[in-house]
Chains A and B, each alone.
Chain A
Amino acid sequence: MSSAIVTTGIGKSFGDVHALRDLDLDIPEGSFFVLLGPSGAGKTTTLRVIAGLEKPDYGTVHLNGIDATEATPAERDLAMVFQSYALYPKQTAADNIASPLRARRMGKSDLDQRVRQVAELLHIEHLLQRKPAQMSGGEQQRVALGRALVREPRAFLMDEPLTNLDLKLRVEMRTELTRIHRSLGRTFLYVTNDQVEAMSMADQVAVLHEGTVQQVGAPTEIYDRPANRWVATFVGSPRINLLPCTANGQLSGNGWQLPNPGFAVEDDRPALLGVRAEDLSLEVRDEAATLAGTVYAVEPLGDRTLVDIELADQRIVVKAPPTASLNIGDSVRASVDLDRIHLFDADGEAAIPRR
């Protein structure tokens, strides 16, 4: 697949703050590519550099193979969608959607047809004659999206467009956006701090932290094989359990010991064991691979029950079936799925590979 957007060695500082350091991204043509990271990670700056709204201190931006580092925003032919909808309040939805085309001196019938196509795609035909004040937040966001779509740009850059919507609408819009992406077949570059949005919509995710790319991969890759401790912690809910240990033939922590399932370690290496809540089970399958503790809290969530277990000096969370019935203070053992655990270097924090 050819590349729609490539950034090479981008650096950008604001005063003393290094927003981006040697940022490399390769965004395939037609992909739904998500930049994921906490606020301050450099996601929005990356987007703005790509859009031409911000000039990088060093590094280049290529669009479809052509160096666009010095190009103006208009020359880049990219459409931005922001979290605030910024619609013209006195115009109808149809006029708002049509506004980017007015400068192009399109014929009225062509323009109407184009607006109608976009409205159909977004399922907002019934809203076209309404003004923003007569629409819900979700409807306004769709109109804002329509205004970006109407131009048929090279790629769409979206900066947390769902942030201001309530949970139900956000879930709906996720499905909508993947559908729209599929039917347009254009490149979507989408910025969010919400790992569920990233996991649920992206073909590829780049996880950003402190201005550098920590890992790029398909959502399941990032979840199943996090490159370092930071990625493992940022992706997944409940958060991955991390237990300090010493790794050699065994993984030994405070009050527990597990066999080393093949992590390539030498000597007694200080490490962090990473276990996701669903890779722990209260049904003991293998006596040699358990963590023993007492129940700290039980949280039924309907489709699952989270059981907080207190080990010698820290707490872990186990995802149990909704039928689990336990009380605070009960002694329990959690069985560890050794095929699914992670080990991170205690210092460098990188994932330690298996042999």
Chain B
Amino acid sequence: MAEVLVKNLHKAFPDGTVAVHDLDLEIADGELFVMLGPSGCGKTTTLRCVAGLETETSGQIVIGDEVVSGLRPSQRDIAMVFQFYALYPHLSVHDNMAFPLRAAGHPDSEVSERVNEAARMLRLEPLLKRRPSKLSGGEQQRVALGRAMVRHPKAFLMDEPLTNLDAELRADMRAEVKHVQQRLRTTMIYVTHDQTEAMALGNRIAIMNQGRLEQVGAPMEVYERPATLFAARFIGSPPMNLIEAEVTNGHLTAAGGLQIKAPDGLRRGERVIAGVRPERFVVSAADGDAEAARGRVVSREALGDETIYVVETDAGLLNVRMPPTVRLAEEEVVAVRYQGTAPPVYDPETERVIDR
């Protein structure tokens, strides 16, 4: 396995569209690095440049100690996984896993050695002779994963491999990918537009937008402190509340009197946007609390393990995440108050987090 460096990557297509603007990424050896963003953000183009399927307009790709720019995909010693394809039903588990190695012309002795090694890591040894139809769903997924991993490339590049699976299988497979990656310490660059998948899987997440990097960080870092308003909107469901507020005495005060704890270093009178996760608000029946926002419940989504309230206040529509035991009705007049340490705040002009 190896580290992967993307240096000043710039990619323009013949029609003039710039897919990636001067991108710098350092992906550590053994890291599961997720590239997250909406379609058209440049994540897949970046991956394809690393793979050698696209030629960069300028910049450099380094895999291990080697500058690979200009090399063909087959010369880069990487494995590209587009999807965990269904298994071949007529082949045994062993032959399913051996397939990519045999196709690449590896000698038989090496093929069985690698398959056996992968089977040991994934605890598939007792199943090697079985056909896929004799396996449980979870076992089939492990085989599909094993088949992708029998090669020993310097890095795995994965482009939305779970997209076509149904929700249940996707959740199972997510845990498998994470488990196996941590066990094998493979370097993995994983592209997705699904923020839940990105959070669940990544050692670090790179959020991209219009060919540029918005933020790189560990999942909880990105969640707790999005670097830009774009990142704030993209991570988390329901999304972060973005509330216009003015810095007053140690507080951020929003329209209607809602008080939010202010971070240090802000000037009094400064206008900012506070980024408040739905679980940082508490909603209760209306009371006289002057620091709370008074509002009306416009929607209540009881999801079983939690209830999401949308409350219309002078400070805007606020999303609030509450335990299922709290029961407030739609149209009820309620109070929303902030709890906890100071949230990140954003400059309304630059849309970047204020760091002082």
Contact = CB atoms under 8 A, between A and B. Distances in A.
Contacts of B220: 300, 302, 322
Interface in B195-245: 196, 199-201, 219-220, 223, 235-239
B308 interface: yes
B108 interface: no
Nearest to B138: A315
Contacts of A123: none
Interface of B: 138, 167-168, 171, 174-176, 178-179, 182-183, 196, 199-201, 219-220, 223, 235-239, 277-279, 298-299, 301-305, 308, 310, 321, 324, 330-331
A277 B304 CA distance: 11
B171 A196 contact: no
B54 to A, nearest CB: 26
Contact of B321 (A199, A296, A303, A328): A303
A297 B142 CA distance: 14
Contacts of A278: 305
A199 B303 contact: yes
B298 A175 contact: yes
A77 B122 CA distance: 59
Interface in A129-183: 167-168, 171, 174-175, 178-179, 182
Interface stretch (A8-16, A93-101, A208-216, A218-226): A218-226
Contact of A237 (B167, B199, B236): B167
Contacts of A302: 199, 219-220, 223, 235-236, 277
Nearest to A322: B220
Nearest to A182: B330
Contacts of B303: 196, 199-200
Contact of B200 (A174, A299, A303, A328): A299
25 contacts: A171-B238, A175-B298, A178-B299, A196-B303, A200-B301, A200-B303, A220-B302, A220-B304, A223-B302, A224-B304, A235-B304, A236-B305, A239-B171, A296-B175, A299-B178, A299-B200, A300-B200, A300-B219, A300-B223, A302-B223, A303-B279, A306-B200, A315-B138, A328-B179, A328-B183
A278 B307 CA distance: 13
B168 A220 contact: no
A353 interface: no
B199 A223 contact: no
B302 A219 contact: yes
Contact of B175 (A219, A224, A299, A319): A299
A238 interface: yes
A200 B178 contact: no
Interface residues of A, number: 39
A167 B193 CA distance: 11
Contact of B168 (A167, A182, A224, A239): A239
Among B200, B223, B235, residue most surrounded by chain A Cβ atoms (within 10 Å)? B200
A308 B324 contact: no
Nearest to A38: B166
Contacts of B196: 301
B172 to A, nearest CB: 8
A308 B304 contact: no
B199 A174 contact: no
Given A167-B237, A175-B310, A200-B302, 11 more contacts: A196-B303, A201-B301, A220-B302, A236-B304, A237-B167, A296-B175, A297-B179, A300-B220, A302-B223, A328-B179, A328-B182
Nearest to A236: B304
Contacts of B299: 174-175, 178-179
Contacts of A199: 301-304
A152 B22 CA distance: 56
A299 B199 CA distance: 7
Nearest to A218: B302
A229 interface: no
Contact of A223 (B171, B178, B277, B304): B304
A315 B179 CA distance: 12
A179 B298 contact: yes
A236 B174 CA distance: 17
Interface in A234-281: 235-239, 276-278
Nearest to A301: B199
Nearest to B303: A199
Residue among A179, A196, A299 with the highest chain B CB neighbour number at 10 A: A299
Nearest to A167: B237
Contacts of B330: 178, 182
A339 B301 CA distance: 24
A174 B176 CA distance: 32
A299 B237 contact: no
A178 B330 CA distance: 10
Q: Choose among A174, A238, A301, A306 the residue with the greatest number of B CB atoms under 10 Å from its CB.
A: A301
